[in-house]
Amino acid sequence: MKITRITVFQLDLPLFEPYYLSGGRLRFDRLDSTFVRLETDEGVTGWGEGCPWGHTYLPAHGPGIRAAIETLAAALIGCDPRSPEQINRVMDVTLPGHPYAKSPIDMACWDILGQVSGLPLWQLLGGETPAPVLVNSSISTGTPEDMLALIERAAQKGYTVHSAKVGGTDIGLDIDRIEAISGGLPKGHKVTFDVNRAWQPAAAIEVLNSVQARDWVEQPCETLDQCAHVADRVRNPIMLDECMHTFGDHLEAWKRGACEGVKVKPNRVGGLTKARQIRDFGVSIGWQMHIEDVGGSALADTAAIHLASSTPEANRLASWLCHYHLDVDPVPGQGARNASGQAVPTSAPGLGVTPDPQALGAPVAVYEG
Ligand code: MG
């Protein structure tokens, strides 16, 4: 089987309401998503999506995905999409780095492999059953009272696991937020305090040694070095996210004892192939993982839920779904959706999601042999 055509679509995904991270210093209104359709000489078609969370969250850029695919296309035409590992080697030789730009190609190859083998991705990725995955709520930065009200609203929708965004210049306010939320959670609920790298190491150590809360704290500082320094000096379990780009970063974090868990995001690390390698490493060393994508429609969310569902329950925490923040749905009603705080992957062969052609509009690029 050979890839014969690569068709690229661009779609703006407006958020329902502006979203603030990192103590309010980062604001997001809309996401720039790229959809990729791979066609083959045997008539099988696969879909992928790559969608950075704006261009200030990670070193990833919406238009960069399209530019990278322009560079990669000639090397991909003629390759067998049923061999995602080999496809990744071809992409890494043709364009080193730029993992986020390769993710939609890799995802579309997995979609084709699933369709050809007649198996859903959750099974190809190692799952025995389509296990339901807990869905994380996402609580935007605000006053302690506002954030607790958002958690209460999420709880009424069935969420039991929450990601509360903290991290500002006012350390006292962060201490208040953490204590109020940790102490005010509905019974049995769990929270992760996501700092989104806002603190300097000294602030992280001061805040975390001041609070009684012993909940997870995510990405307290910018770099792996800084986070490892903090992890050594606080009692909260640390989750790492934005500073983890390669398998080597994860290996380094493990060697240094920098975290007890990681966020595994296919778009950030280069696609399902590399996310699976990291997931399997995490299982082997006993990390707990949130497996979700950086952003995107229910297509990208569903790919991540396939990987999450196929992960042993002991190593799997909850997954966030980006598409619940969007004002558009280019894959109407399809894929893994939130049902009372849980999402179940589709059991159709492959990814199980096909975009609505009307929603995507005309392609922005077509590459063929
Ligand atoms: Mg995070």
Q: Which CATH class is domain 3-118+357-368?
A: alpha beta
* Residue 37: predicted pLDDT: 98
Please indicate whether residue 263 is annotated as part of the active site. Answer: no
Q: How far apart are the CA of 19 and the centre of ligand 1, in A?
A: 13
What is residue 153's three-state secondary structure? helix
Strand partners, 30: 14
Q: Which residue among the candidates 102, 263, 265, 274 is catalytic per the annotation? A: 265
161 CA from centroid of ligand 1 (Å): 14
Distance (angstroms) between ligand 1 centre and the Cα of 154 equals 18
pLDDT of 226-265, one tens digit each?
999 999 999 999 999 999 999 999 999 999 999 999 999 9
Position 24 scores a pLDDT of 64
CA of 26 to the centre of ligand 1 (A): 13
pTM of the predicted protein model: 0.96
pLDDT tens-digit readout, 311-360: 999 999 999 999 989 999 999 999 999 998 999 999 999 999 999 999 99
Q: Residue 72: helix, strand or coil by DSSP? A: helix
Domain boundaries, the chain: 3-118+357-368, 123-343
pLDDT in tens, 79-121: 999 999 999 999 999 999 999 999 999 999 999 999 999 999 9
For 260, the token pair is: 């007890």
Residue 290 alpha carbon to ligand 1 centre in Å: 9
Asked whether this chain's domains 3-118+357-368 and 123-343 adopt the same fold, the reply is: no
DSSP 202-255: HHHHHHHTT-----EEE--SSSHHHHHHHHTT-SS-EEE-TT--SHHHHHHHHH
Q: Please pick, among 102, 165, 263, 274, the residue that the annotation labels catalytic.
A: 165
Helices first, then strands: H and E counts in the chain? 13, 13
For 123-343, give the CATH class.
Answer: alpha beta
Instruction: Determine the distance separating the centroid of ligand 1 and the alpha carbon of 21, expressed in angstroms.
Output: 9
What is the rounded CA–CA span in Å between residue 333 and residue 95?
35
Length of the chain: 369
Cα gap 314→287, rounded to integer Å: 9
pLDDT digits (tens, 9 = 90+) for 15-58: 998 877 666 667 788 999 999 999 999 999 999 999 999 888 88
**Known active-site residue 102:** no
Closest CA to 161 of 289, 336, 309, 318: 318
